[in-house]
Amino acid sequence: MRKILCGSLVALFGFLAIAEVGALRASIADDPLRRPIVVDRGSSLPTANRKLLDYVNARIGQRVGNGQCASMVSQAFRDLSIRDYPAENGDDYVWGTFITEIRPGRLPKVAILPGDVLQYRDTKFEGRNKSGGTYKTSGGHHTAVVSSVSGQNLYLLQQNIGGDTRPVAEKEKVQGGLLYLPDMKQGWIKVYRPVLRSGSSLTDTTGGGTPALNFSKSATLPAKGKSGYTVNLAGRKSVQIQMNGNGKTDVDLFVFDPSNRQVASDIGLTDRATLTFTTGAAGNYRIEMRNLGKSSNTVNLSARYVVTR
């Protein structure tokens, strides 16, 4: 079971400490206490994203679990049969397939979807309001669900929001929020895509009657060791494979087709990778991970069909 640790977010507007939900951009709402709730249930969302989004949206104004931010997502994962993952570095929670990491001045280059989960560490946002004032918001440790994406704005659903001046009963209810990414000044936010447990129903994101690809594995690679899996893939389909390790060693990722020909690889200097390739003939493809480090590394691996544009 996940240990729930969650530091609530606090925002400062001028010199007045108030309870706010992330970096509220006053071009959207001039009143800093007005929390926007925007939910986008696009039909093209992955099934796990859509289920999580519907679950949290239905509980706006309610306390989920023990009221902590991560408890909202953990409870949803249990109720929806979404896969749980071990935390990194003790309490940096992992909520599925790693998508991207947001840092100051480094905006995401890949699409963030409604239903993705955000994990914060030591973040600070600050900027200007529509009225000409300024705001600041900070969060040492926080979890939220993306409800909609509009340009560089991320609308959120979350709980345990606000400082000591806000009643606990109000903080610990599911509520909306907004992050304006260019206003990020410190820390990082990791973006994860939830994954249904093995055996749960998934829809094919490519359409056309292709069976859904529901591949998710976790393996512990010994020092200087390797591990591999075989997955049966349809022909002429775009496939995305994502790898997320524990951050301690360099792990390389390779994909081989049914003829044992290498068709994709990532040999970067980390243990995280995202590979997208198009299959040739249908058949069994081998995914191989090679740990180049001097210690073991526990790696989460997933694969899905995607639509390329």
Length of the chain: 309
Q: What integer pLDDT is reported at residue 6 of this predicted model? A: 61
Would you state the pLDDT for residue 257?
A: 93
Look at residue 18 in the predicted model and tell me its pLDDT: 26
Instruction: Name the token pair of 1.
Output: 């079971």
- pLDDT for the residue numbered 41: 56
CA distances (Å), 51 to each of 100, 104, 115, 256, in order?
21, 31, 8, 33
Three-class DSSP category at 147: strand
For residue 220, CA distances in Å to 91, 228, 265, 289 come to 19, 11, 20, 10
CB atoms within 10 A of CB 36: 17
Give the C-alpha separation, 250 to 295, whole Å.
10
pLDDT at residue 175 in the model: 92
Name the residue type at position 141. H
Q: Beta partners for 168?
A: none
Q: What angle do CA 215, 199, 205 make, to 5 degrees?
A: 55
Which is nearest to 275 in space by CA: 263, 258, 257, 260? Answer: 263
pLDDT per residue of the chain (309 residues) written in tens, 0 to 9 = 444 456 555 554 332 222 233 332 333 333 333 345 555 555 578 888 989 999 999 999 999 999 999 999 999 998 988 988 888 776 789 998 888 899 998 888 788 999 999 999 999 999 887 677 888 888 888 999 999 988 888 999 999 988 777 899 999 999 998 888 999 999 999 999 998 876 443 333 333 444 457 688 888 999 999 999 998 898 888 888 888 888 889 999 999 999 999 988 888 788 888 888 889 989 999 999 999 999 999 998 888 887 543
DSSP state of 180: E
Return d(Cα 180, Cα 25) in angstroms, integer. 6
Domain boundaries, the chain: 10-193, 215-305
| Phi-psi sector, 86: left (phi>0), alpha (psi -120 to 50), beta | beta
* Alpha carbons 144 and 122: distance in angstroms, whole number: 14
User: What is the SS3 assignment for 258?
Assistant: coil
Q: What is the CATH number of domain 215-305?
A: 2.60.120.380
The gap from C-alpha 27 to its chain's centroid, in whole angstroms, comes to: 26
